[in-house]
């Protein structure tokens, strides 16, 4: 899960990674 987020973040860029991280935060925490 975390690896996929990092890969997607790299494609979108750092700003996109931060937004994506906040949106997926509840799922990552679980």
pLDDT of residue 11 exceeding 60, the answer is yes
Stretch 4-29: mean pLDDT, rounded? Answer: 71
pLDDT of residue 13 exceeding 60, the answer is yes
Alpha helices in 1-30 (DSSP H): 2-12, 14-29
The confidence score (pLDDT) of residue 2 equals 66
Range of the domain at 26: 1-30
Stretch 2-16: mean pLDDT, rounded? Answer: 67
Tokens representing residue 29 in the block: 């925490």
pLDDT of residue 21 exceeding 70, the answer is yes
């Amino acid at each position: 899960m975390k690896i996929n987020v990092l890969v997607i973040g790299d494609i979108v860029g750092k700003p996109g990674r931060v937004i994506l991280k906040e949106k997926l935060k509840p799922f990552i925490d679980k």
